[in-house]
Structure 1
Amino acid sequence: MPKRIEVCLTPALLHLYDVKDSIVVVIDILRATSSIVYGIANGASAIIPVANVEDCLQYSGQGYLLAAERNGEVVEGYDFGNSPFSYTAEKVAGKTVVLTTTNGTKALHMARETAYQVIIGSFLNLKSLCAWLKTQDRSVLLLCAGWKDAFNLEDTLFAGAVVSDLRKDFDHFDDSSIAAEDLYQLAKNDLRKYLHKSSHSHRLAALNIEEDVKFCLQLDICKAIPVLIGDTLIALETD
């Protein structure tokens, strides 16, 4: 059967896609999936994505690190939010993190309900992610977390980067994947400059965390591919 690659531009459109036999790559570049990749690469035993702050709090007192972000800021009373600088080896190696974010963890939960498999993508692990996807005999849906169910630039740019890399290995591309790739080709020579105009970049700049944006746009500094097993993200075994 021909392998498809499709791009779902926001979680609000996910119901339009049949993904029961597909690998879904969840994308939330600024910042959830970048931090998840970085945390797993730095030795976190697992990351448990939960839908809301109250669910995260239920893990209190069990030896987990609790991470909660809403509207770009750390929720008061939690260990940290979703800045990649909180997911260093010194902080997360050998530990389990329970994470809730404005957009990324919501998209993860939606994908889990119907997808054959759910994995995590970011610019940090772009090369290893694409190399692994090429070895799989399944169609791929790139699910952009967006911003509160609306389209955003950064997730779509990353989806376009994946489409560009996989073009020779897949047989069918939907219009969203073509548009995402065209956008990536337009922006790829200076992603940071292009994304400077994006709404979420401005949102993070207002919070004085522009360094997070710079960090999340680095290419291929990690090889880890987080995979969702049950309700827990762990490192995918690719060998």
Structure 2
Amino acid sequence: MKVDVILTAGEIKAEKIKDKIVVIIDVLRATSVMVTAIANGAKAIYPYKDIESVLENCKKSNSYVLGGERKGLKIEGFDFGNSPLEYTKEMVNGKDVFMTTSNGTRAIESSANGSKKLFIACFLNIESVVNKLIEENQDTVIICSGTNDEFSLDDALCAGEIVRRLAEKVKDIKLSDISLGVKIIAENSKGIENTLTGSKHFEYLKSIGFYGDMNHCFSVDKFDIVPEYKDGVIKN
């Protein structure tokens, strides 16, 4: 198994992901929302990179909610923003979630064509993702969504923890230099929040009132699910 890592959504190129297993990470907070919503009974998640596509496609569903953000804040007219704490069982159980975010949904759309399979990951489901990748036993590319096409330490730390666990369990694993780099970040982490303190996106979300999301987003292995994106929709 060869494992590579792409550090931002803007660096996704078709030749890098062609016929490979792809894992999308956007810890703060799109993939954390997706995993949480599916765990809380959402029927399906429909991710789009633009608001217009959400508003158009949601008309096809009989029971749905709209979720998403721009610059970390809820989009006007949407039901929810990008806080996983909003996607409770009472609010999403049995419903379709149509969502758009600045980075995560864009990374998913950019990876849809060419990848063999596409899985959704965050700290909440790391062990389940690792086990799924071992089961697939295929060359894998882990994509960090980043923040506005810039490196984001939270995504890299999560990717590194996936690589670290894979390396412990897979004897014939081959790591790219970037994979090795994020693995070293994870191995030297003294806790998620301690590692991320001072990082740009973490501090920005705290500044606009979303510190409460962090305890949830940084809960490791809270859910035993691996949502998969296929034919435009995310399901478990």
User: How high is the TM-score relative to the length of structure 1?
Assistant: 0.93
Residues 39 and 225, structure 2, Cα contact 8 Å, conserved in 1: yes
Deviation at 1:108, TM superposition (A): 0.2
Residues 67 and 98, structure 1, Cα contact 8 Å, conserved in 2: yes
Q: Secondary structure at the match of 1:58?
A: helix
Match of residue 196 from structure 1: 197
* Equivalent position amino acid for 2:173 in 1: D
CA distance in 2: counterparts of 1:12 and 1:85, whole angstroms = 28
CA distance in 2: counterparts of 1:216 and 1:130, whole angstroms = 18
Q: CA 1:115 to 1:60, structure 2 compared with 1: closer, same or farther past 3 Å? A: closer
CA distance in 1: counterparts of 2:156 and 2:199, whole angstroms = 12
Residues 120 and 228, structure 2, Cα contact 8 Å, conserved in 1: yes
Pick from 172, 175, 181 the counterpart of residue 173 of structure 1.
Answer: 175
Unaligned 5+ runs, structure 2? none
Match of residue 42 from structure 1: 40
Aligned runs of 1:3-22 on 2, under 5 Å? 3-15=1-13, 17-22=15-20
Aligned runs of 1:70-109 on 2, under 5 Å? 70-109=70-109
CA distance in 1: counterparts of 2:4 and 2:193, whole angstroms = 25
User: How high is the TM-score relative to the length of structure 2?
Assistant: 0.94
Deviation at 1:18, TM superposition (A): 2.9
CA distance in 2: counterparts of 1:202 and 1:7, whole angstroms = 24
Aligned runs of 1:158-169 on 2, under 5 Å? 158-167=158-167, 168-169=169-170
Moved over 6 A (4+): none
Unaligned 5+ runs, structure 1? none
Equivalences, count: 232
* Equivalent position amino acid for 2:213 in 1: D
Deviation at 1:20, TM superposition (A): 2.1
Q: Secondary structure at the match of 1:151?
A: coil
Aligned runs of 1:1-239 on 2, under 5 Å? 3-15=1-13, 17-60=15-58, 62=61, 63-167=63-167, 168-169=169-170, 170-187=172-189, 189-235=190-236
Q: Secondary structure at the match of 1:138?
A: coil
* Equivalent position amino acid for 1:49 in 2: P
Deviation at 1:234, TM superposition (A): 0.3
Deviation at 1:159, TM superposition (A): 0.5
* Equivalent position amino acid for 1:57 in 2: L
Q: CA 1:46 to 1:80, structure 2 compared with 1: closer, same or farther past 3 Å? A: same
Deviation at 1:97, TM superposition (A): 0.3
Deviation at 1:60, TM superposition (A): 4.9
Instruction: Render the CA deviation track for 1:108-157: whole Å, top value 9, x for unaligned.
Output: 00110221111100110011111111111211100000001111100000
* Equivalent position amino acid for 2:223 in 1: C
Q: Secondary structure at the match of 2:225?
A: coil
Instruction: Render the CA deviation track for 1:61-93: whole Å, top value 9, x for unaligned.
Output: 543211121110001110001111111111111
Q: CA RMSD in A?
A: 1.3
